[in-house]
Chains A and B, each alone.
Chain A
Amino acid sequence: MVANEFWAEGEPVVDKAAPDGPVETRWERRKFSAKLVNPANRRKLTVIVVGTGLAGGSAAATLAEAGYRVKSYCYQDSPRRAHSIAAQGGINAAKNYRNDGDSVYRLFYDTVKGGDFRARESNVYRLAQVSVNIIDQCVAQGVPFAREYGGLLDNRSFGGTQVSRTFYARGQTGQQLLLGAYQAMERQIGLGNIEMNARHEMLELIIVDGKARGIVVRDMVTGEITTEFADAVVLASGGYGNVFFLSTNAKGCNVTASWRAHRKGALFANPCYTQIHPTCIPESGSHQSKLTLMSESLRNDGRVWVPKRAEDCQKPAGEIAEEDRDYYLERIYPSFGNLVPRDIASRAAKNVCDEGRGVGPGGLGVYLDFADAIKRLGRKAVEAKYGNLFEMYERITGEDPYETPMRIYPAVHYTMGGLWVDYDLQSTIEGLFVVGEANFSDHGANRLGASALMQGLADGYFVLPNTISNYLANGPFPAVSETDAPVVEARKEVEDRIAKFLSIDGDRTVDSFHRELGQIMWEYCGMERTEEGLTKAIGLIRALKEEFWTRVKVPGKGEELNQNLEKAGRVADFLELGELMCIDALHRRESCGGHFRAESQTSDGEALRHDDEFGYAAAWEYFGADGKPTLHKEDLNFEYVHPSTRSYK
């Protein structure tokens, strides 16, 4: 098998923190068995938290409230600007306020099934359990969720679920939740319990005596490199969707914090699991710097179509007669129609565009048409429901969706993979914890809509603060000093790398490499993957990496605000991650969740999973830039929700 050329296989990885017994009681029992830290001792313990999104912000605030000393870092100028701010749709919680049959068990069930049976049951159950506390906590902080006339919280159904369990704040749920966590953080900063370091980027992890004890950071304003120490390190640095260059993520989202930890021994799990969102605004040209998500709710009333014949694609939509239009989702999936899950809608769009029937620039788009909805409900009603989205669309494209159908195309949106963690959210490096989108988490091979916000806040407010105490109870650990060999070495690695970037002085910009990497990833490791394509991509990425290290041009100095130097570090890490993603995708010869392997499909073109062969999480160990990554499997057992096949026909 071609595989062994690319990877080696090692011992299975085992979650030693996993509790057993009935799933409903596992979290209670883990909390009870976890060691506690005496309140008087908490002052003596320092925790570094990298990231101030929902996961990091909530963790930092909660740990500080508990009495620990916290040092926080983010690359933006304020913790309030973390990428979580951009989440639109909502947050799930099993409150069952609608009395529509929802329950912790149902949310658990939906999440395991939605993740295509590639997540841990214990973790998912816990997530569903604490989801109810999140809403209570956020309301107490003053998060202005949407309410009904009676003054109670409103809920909606999201992403095709049969119950209404999604809480929301107009189209700005992430913003409001993040401001809640940010304000709680600022309160602790004001009280002197959190030391906030905005515009500071973590560039290396410091490990002393096998334990994560600190980080190397660069002050992004002065360029000063410092080493920071603590008793434990928490990474809350978000997802890595920007490996594709074009994604719905904020421009600065990156994998560096996770990747540096991976290089130092933390296993990276399921890197190939990415989520591609079907309703984004298509690219408009070579200047495109990112893609904008349009809320999924649009598919409730919009009808997706392309011309039946490729010759018609250049014509204005209005000139294409009804009988010449192919409402392909309604045709292929008569029972779910335009509301099929994200991965299915995305792949179907790609297929019709590959057939040459795409619309708009480059033929990379499909129509999302509201003409019928306007006829049926009236323009006013459509405006009331989607007015702000239509406005946003018009602002970006210059087209009026009331008159001409919207054009949409899939874009990378979320990454389910991330650093491997045990039930306590501890990575394979002792004392290194990972929360939020940065860990490989609870979503398996695919995430349900409105569940990332839930997971970020679950991890930060309720899970980590309870599990990290078990570790910190063994501290304070012996003091670390600037002159300890591992500290000197970590610092030197950072300084050498910066010096190297600045010295190459080649003839290509950092962005040009990033774009090219993104194209390779999108083409071969995007919606549909094949053995041939992935093998090719690995070769292309290796060549690109070599070229990067000889031809990149990074202007300016290290001792100043230097945005290209920041980007260079991130792209260098993305190049390594991209290769691992392709290797992971190559090794997984099945289709599951967000990962569709063309060789593994049913006779009618649907995803075909192989539970017997691939019913595990793939955790990869780093083996040097040129060595082979080593696969460690974590077997997944399903005691409650038994693997079944998804069907939307």
Chain B
Amino acid sequence: MDIKVRVWRQSGPTAGGKMVTYDVKGISPDASFLEMIDVLNETLILNGDDPIAFDHDCREGICGACSMVINGVAHGPEKATTTCQLHMRKFKDGDVIDVEPWRAAAFPVIKDLVVDRSAFDKIIQAGGYITAPTGTAPDAHAAPVPKKDADAAFEAATCIGCGACVAACPNGSSMLFTAAKIAHLGLMPQGQPERDSRVIDMLQAQDDAGFGGCTNAGECTTVCPKGIPLSLIGRLNSDYRKAISKR
């Protein structure tokens, strides 16, 4: 297929940026979206142009590195799919496709489509863990976990930390990401001792890192490649209220 892509080009963190249009000819519908950019980059390099910088690693939808806003939608048009798992057969010959980086106050652009998501790590540092120093653990069967809770914890734990939720949110809020971690750990018996401090500290860290507030717009869950549901934000809020009331 022959298509055009309009890509956000920005040479560095402080440089200005703009959309630049490129022709991509003869791309296979079986190519992934990132492979289409690979092919374009090979041409750019040989023409003496600067290739497009973008984050990626696993290309299997699990590491959370890839991050492109495609035609205005974080991770593009296919539901529950990361950018790396999107394929060109979802587009038509002759399409003009816009490609931009995540845009959010807490995720500054580093170059082209690459942004700095270290603010997510800061949220986890503040409490997204269960304190269990190596060697102190009792036998794994010492405390059974009801299957229902274990399954629900797993569902929440599938968040890949990609940041699409933040990119889609009109407020640049990280609430869905934080809520997923709070739910994962809070649903397990092991997670109870730190449950109150966890939610208070993580929400504080989220504010400190420059993420916006949540107004229940719901855009986050629409783009989330792992289908993290909005209901987890409700769960977070109720955890937060309980934690605060005990203070």
Contacts and interface: CB of A to CB of B under 8 A. Distances in A.
The judgment on whether A and B are partners is yes
Contact of A142 (B53, B130, B133): B130
Contact of B138 (A136, A183, A184, A285): A136
B34 interface: yes
B31 A287 contact: yes
Interface in A214-239: 221
A81 interface: yes
A76 B63 contact: yes
Interface in A22-39: none
Contact of B126 (A138, A190, A284, A556): A190
Interface string A241-270: 000000000111000000000000000000
Interface stretch (A327-335, A417-425, A557-565, A571-579): A557-565
Contact of A184 (B39, B85, B132, B139): B132
A140 B87 contact: no
B154 to A, nearest CB: 4
Given A78-B161, A395-B87, A556 B132 contact: no
Contacts of B105: none
Interface stretch (A11-19, A150-158, A588-596): A150-158
Given A141-B130, A175-B158, A176-B157, A398 B89 contact: yes
Q: Which of B56, B62, B134, B135 has the most CB of A within 10 A?
A: B134
A315 to B, nearest CB: 20
B38 A78 contact: no
Contacts of A461: 134-135
B129 A144 contact: no
A172 B158 contact: yes
A81 B160 CA distance: 9
B38 A76 contact: no
Interface in A181-195: 182-184, 186-187, 189-190
Contacts of A560: 11-12, 111
A297 interface: no
A152 B28 CA distance: 48
B110 A135 contact: no
Contacts of A62: 133-134
Contacts, number: 221
Contacts of A564: 45, 51
A149 B89 CA distance: 42
Interface residues of A, number: 79
Given A77-B65, A77-B118, A183-B129, A176 B134 contact: no
A144 B136 contact: no
Contacts of B85: 392, 395-396
Interface string A547-568: 0000001011000110110000
Contacts of A137: 132, 134-135, 137
Interface stretch (B93-101, B182-190, B234-242): B182-190
A527 B5 CA distance: 40
A90 to B, nearest CB: 14
B130 A507 contact: no
B166 to A, nearest CB: 14
Contacts of A149: 147
Contacts of A511: 38, 42
B58 A250 contact: yes
A292 B87 CA distance: 14
Interface string A157-171: 000000000000110
B158 A287 contact: no
A152 B31 contact: no
B110 A85 contact: no
B59 to A, nearest CB: 5
Given A65-B133, A186-B128, A465-B134, A561 B62 contact: no
B50 A555 contact: yes
Nearest to B125: A190
A186 B136 CA distance: 18
Nearest to A169: B154
B245 interface: no
A182 B157 CA distance: 13
A147 interface: yes
Nearest to A184: B129
B207 interface: no
Contacts of B50: 555-556
B140 to A, nearest CB: 4
- Taking residues whose C-beta sits less than 8 angstroms from the other chain, chain B's interface range is 35 or more
Contact of A396 (B53, B87, B128): B87
A150 B143 CA distance: 11
B60 A144 contact: no
A47 interface: no
Nearest to B123: A186
Contacts of B131: 187
A141 B117 contact: no
Interface in B1-51: 11-12, 27-32, 34-36, 38-39, 42, 44-46, 48-51
B130 to A, nearest CB: 4
B104 interface: no
B221 interface: no
A287 B28 contact: yes
A564 B42 CA distance: 10
Contact of A183 (B31, B124, B136, B151): B124
Contacts of B212: none
A142 B38 contact: no
A86 B139 contact: no
B121 interface: yes
Q: Which of A77, A289, A512 has the most CB of B within 10 A?
A: A77
A251 B59 contact: yes
B150 interface: yes
Interface of B: 11-12, 27-32, 34-36, 38-39, 42, 44-46, 48-51, 53, 55-65, 78, 81, 85, 87, 89, 110-111, 114, 116-118, 120-121, 124-126, 128-141, 144-147, 150-151, 153-154, 157-158, 160-161, 184-185, 188, 190-191
Given A86-B58, A252-B57, 14 more contacts: A85-B63, A85-B160, A86-B60, A137-B132, A140-B132, A141-B130, A142-B188, A150-B147, A186-B128, A250-B63, A251-B57, A287-B35, A397-B30, A555-B49
29 contacts: A65-B134, A78-B118, A79-B121, A83-B63, A85-B58, A137-B132, A137-B137, A139-B140, A142-B188, A142-B190, A147-B151, A150-B144, A150-B147, A152-B141, A153-B140, A175-B158, A183-B124, A184-B132, A284-B30, A285-B30, A287-B35, A289-B32, A289-B34, A509-B45, A512-B42, A553-B46, A561-B53, A561-B111, A564-B51
- Rank and list the top 8 A-B pairs by shortest CB-CB distance, nearest first: A151-B144, A190-B125, A183-B129, A140-B137, A140-B132, A284-B30, A144-B154, A136-B137
